[in-house]
Structure 1
Amino acid sequence: IPFIEYQAKKGKPMLLSIGASELEEIERAVDTIRAVNDSELALLHCVLEYPTPLEHANLLKIKTLKQQFPDCYVGYSDHTKPTPECDVAKVAYNMGAQLIEKHFTLDKTLKGNDHYHAMDPSDAKKILEAIDRMDMLRGSGELVSLKSEAAARLNARRSIVAAKRIAEGELVTRDKLTFKRPGTGISPTEIGMVMGRTAACDIAEDTILQPKMLRGFPGEEEDG
């Protein structure tokens, strides 16, 4: 704690690895830092096991840390062996990791405790490409339909359709109507505005209703 406080007093942004730490220890360290330093603080989930077996990665801890420390950035210090599919980095990122730290080497066969489970340039490239793909897949989250869906949307939606022949001047009632694709006519949401009107022309069975076919229907004059 004294060393953490010493570093925090420099007033600079800090990265704090929390491997093998209990929640109370993390809270104490964060409180110590915040007492003297209001700069950016990042907590790195870390497992002090080299290499870390996949079943010990516990990447859901990233979400827990984000909930427990909402004013901190949360990342992951990865000690697992790189996989061809970059599974660990992808899951960590999807759990909300804002930083990912991993040992790097130019040669995994070199002697020493860090090289054999580190990533090499090829691994780094794959990880970055995988995260870029994830960003693309995640999209914006907006609750809107895409322009690329417009044609399919029009075809998939339904219109109000004449279930039987309706003569000009005849009252339009519910039993004379049905709903069918495509959505190029009056929407089924307007069924209440269609019923009770009179036909402005002869409407053949299975015809998609348009505003101009109904007297007094909004848009009739524009369409007619």
Structure 2
Amino acid sequence: MSAIIPAPLFVLEMANNHMGDVEHGLSVIRAFGEVCRDFPFRFAFKLQYRDLDTFIHPAARGRDDIKYVKRFSETRLSRPDFDRLVDAMREAGFMTMATPFDEPSVDVIEAQNLDFIKIASCSFTDWPLLERVVLSAKPIIASTAGASLDQIDRVVSFLMHRHKDFAILHCVGEYPTPDEHMHLSQIDFLRNRYPNVRIGFSTHENPDHTDIVKLAVAKGVTLFEKHVGVPTEKYPQNAYSASPAQVRAWLEAAQHAWVLCGEGETRLPPNPEEANSLRSLQRGVFARRAITAGETIQREDVYYAFPPQVGQFTANDWSKYAELTSTTAIAQDAAVAPNNALYKDGRARVWDIAQRVKALLERTHIVVPGSADLEVSHHYGLDRFDEFGLVLITVVNRCYCKKLLVILPGQSHPEQYHKVKEETFHVVYGEITLVLDGVSSVCQPGDVVTIEPGTRHAFSSKDGAVIEEISTSHNTDDSFYTDETIMANKQRKSLLTYWMD
């Protein structure tokens, strides 16, 4: 069974830094094992595989004037040597990984049962190699240095259509990479373009620099790759590979960055110290006049002043959703608090209504623009919404207007009329009983009814319904209810914008 790419995962790339000396390679693995065991992350150690007898063209073999031919030849290891390195990686607690540069090397990876396959930037569009790699069940991590957008699109599509577990890495193929060429914002670009793909970071900066990993963590990266090695008198270190001490500093920087970034998937509640500090700076609610027990406390009955008393209601608690009722007499200038008033917040009720409407729309496959405002009409108050009420979703309101009217099961909309607006009801879901100037009729999906200005209209639904309303421009002062009680209720509407999520 193939491994899943964990998060976070730090990949330590030895490449050819074993120097063709298996004992040196073993010492490198063990040295980094000592470092990594001090951190609460998952780690993979990575090798590079080439079948040199077929990888290098016959005419180029033994050529010391070709840089990489010389390097690959001088650092050749046998298959038993690589097996020893893989065993040491596992013994040190590392997951195992290798980069194949040719098809026979994929066979070796499968035979060794390594955890992951890495696609190097130079092989990112090596289609014969990719076709062999995707035959394996191993998760794939691919670097994108030097790849065009079209090439990345094609590789991502290729891997997704084959249902592979894969990630791509932002990478710059300069060794070491100067700061001005890091372009860390490419991480954001890749995450936005491929929202269902894991985006990581393969880093080749000066290994003494630790700010870059902090920035990558802040951008949400949880998959990192870095070249590593252990310098000795015999084997000096190159300019982009990190020593054990440098990797320790790099990991400490990443760990500190995660502490600084904290939780970002959800909005966190304030911690107690933060909440207490902020509350002490709020204005308290005080009685403007003497209030008797049992009164509904209105806005004109109170004033707000600093400093607040411990535990009293503050201006931050007061809103159009709040309802306060005095439970005992409250003296003028006294604090309004839980010991003398009952506080009810209608926000949860409004949010519950929004979720019920959203569920009905999803069930009926009616698609609503994400930016559409939702208006909850509670003509006799939220407590009676399930009996009398309506939810209106405004799609557009210009010289013409389009709304969706959602009637939940068992609801009625009280009788009203408009002096200016003409509207047409198109029933798109459910059944409604429509009453026009006292005459009742049943309307079903597909029925269209035009309501002219001045026509009194009321409607209800036993099982719930959705009406598409097309009208002339809607004016907030052009709705007149025949029940004066409703007209006197100035708080009969609640608006929500961010309700679709």
TM-score (norm 2): 0.36
Mean CA deviation greater in 172-181 or 61-70:
172-181
What per-residue deviation string (whole Å, max 9, x for no partner) do you get for residues 141-184 of structure 1? Answer: 44322123243233122212367xx6797xx9949744222253
Q: Which amino acid aligns with 1:7?
A: V
* Maintained 8 Å contact 1:4/1:33: no
Partner of 1:71: 196
Partner of 1:10: 136
- In the alignment, the residues of structure 2 paired with residue 134 and residue 122 of structure 1 have an alpha-carbon distance, to the nearest angstrom, of 18
Partner of 2:313: 186
Q: Are residues 74 and 218 of structure 1, via their aligned partners in 2, closer, same or farther at CA, if it must alter by over 3 Å? A: closer
Greater share of residues in helix: 1
TM-score (norm 1): 0.74
* Maintained 8 Å contact 2:172/2:182: yes
What per-residue deviation string (whole Å, max 9, x for no partner) do you get for residues 167-218 of structure 1? Answer: 797xx994974422225323331799779x8x93655x6x5344666xxx43
Larger Rg: 2
Partner of 2:159: 33
Q: Cα distance, 1:79 vs. partner? A: 0.9
- Helix, strand or coil for the counterpart of 2:224? strand
> Whose relative contact order is higher, 1 or 2, with alpha carbons under 8 Å and at least 6 apart?
1
Partner of 2:225: 101
| Uncovered stretches (5+) of structure 1, i.e. residues with no partner | 220-224
Partner of 1:126: 249
Partner of 2:185: 60
Q: Are residues 109 and 97 of structure 1, via their aligned partners in 2, closer, same or farther at CA, if it must alter by over 3 Å? A: farther
- Helix, strand or coil for the counterpart of 1:218? strand
Partner of 2:147: 21
Q: Which amino acid aligns with 1:92?
A: A
- In the alignment, the residues of structure 1 paired with residue 149 and residue 287 of structure 2 have an alpha-carbon distance, to the nearest angstrom, of 67
- In the alignment, the residues of structure 1 paired with residue 300 and residue 160 of structure 2 have an alpha-carbon distance, to the nearest angstrom, of 68
- In the alignment, the residues of structure 2 paired with residue 136 and residue 211 of structure 1 have an alpha-carbon distance, to the nearest angstrom, of 38
Q: Cα distance, 1:70 vs. partner? A: 2.5
Residue of structure 1 aligned with 2:240, choices 76, 100, 117: 117
Query: Structure 1 residue 200 and structure 2 residue 320: aligned?
Result: no
Query: Structure 1 residue 161 and structure 2 residue 286: aligned?
Result: yes
Mean CA deviation greater in 11-20 or 89-98:
89-98
* Maintained 8 Å contact 1:82/1:123: yes
Q: Are residues 52 and 212 of structure 1, via their aligned partners in 2, closer, same or farther at CA, if it must alter by over 3 Å? A: closer
- Helix, strand or coil for the counterpart of 1:89? helix
- In the alignment, the residues of structure 1 paired with residue 313 and residue 180 of structure 2 have an alpha-carbon distance, to the nearest angstrom, of 56
Counting matched residue pairs gives: 206
Q: Cα distance, 1:108 vs. partner? A: 8.5
- In the alignment, the residues of structure 1 paired with residue 200 and residue 291 of structure 2 have an alpha-carbon distance, to the nearest angstrom, of 70
Q: Cα distance, 1:134 vs. partner? A: 2.0
* Maintained 8 Å contact 1:15/1:41: yes
Partner of 1:222: none
Mean CA deviation greater in 147-156 or 115-124:
147-156
Q: Are residues 73 and 182 of structure 1, via their aligned partners in 2, closer, same or farther at CA, if it must alter by over 3 Å? A: same
Q: Are residues 155 and 124 of structure 1, via their aligned partners in 2, closer, same or farther at CA, if it must alter by over 3 Å? A: same
Q: State percent identity of aligned pairs.
A: 26
Q: What is the CA RMSD across the aligned residues, in angstroms?
A: 3.4
Q: Cα distance, 1:119 vs. partner? A: 1.6
- Helix, strand or coil for the counterpart of 2:142? strand
Q: Are residues 160 and 75 of structure 1, via their aligned partners in 2, closer, same or farther at CA, if it must alter by over 3 Å? A: same
Q: Cα distance, 1:2 vs. partner? A: 0.8
- In the alignment, the residues of structure 2 paired with residue 110 and residue 68 of structure 1 have an alpha-carbon distance, to the nearest angstrom, of 46
- In the alignment, the residues of structure 2 paired with residue 56 and residue 106 of structure 1 have an alpha-carbon distance, to the nearest angstrom, of 26
- Helix, strand or coil for the counterpart of 1:156? coil
- Helix, strand or coil for the counterpart of 2:280? helix
Greater share of residues in strand: 2
| Uncovered stretches (5+) of structure 2, i.e. residues with no partner | 1-126, 344-501
- Helix, strand or coil for the counterpart of 2:274? helix
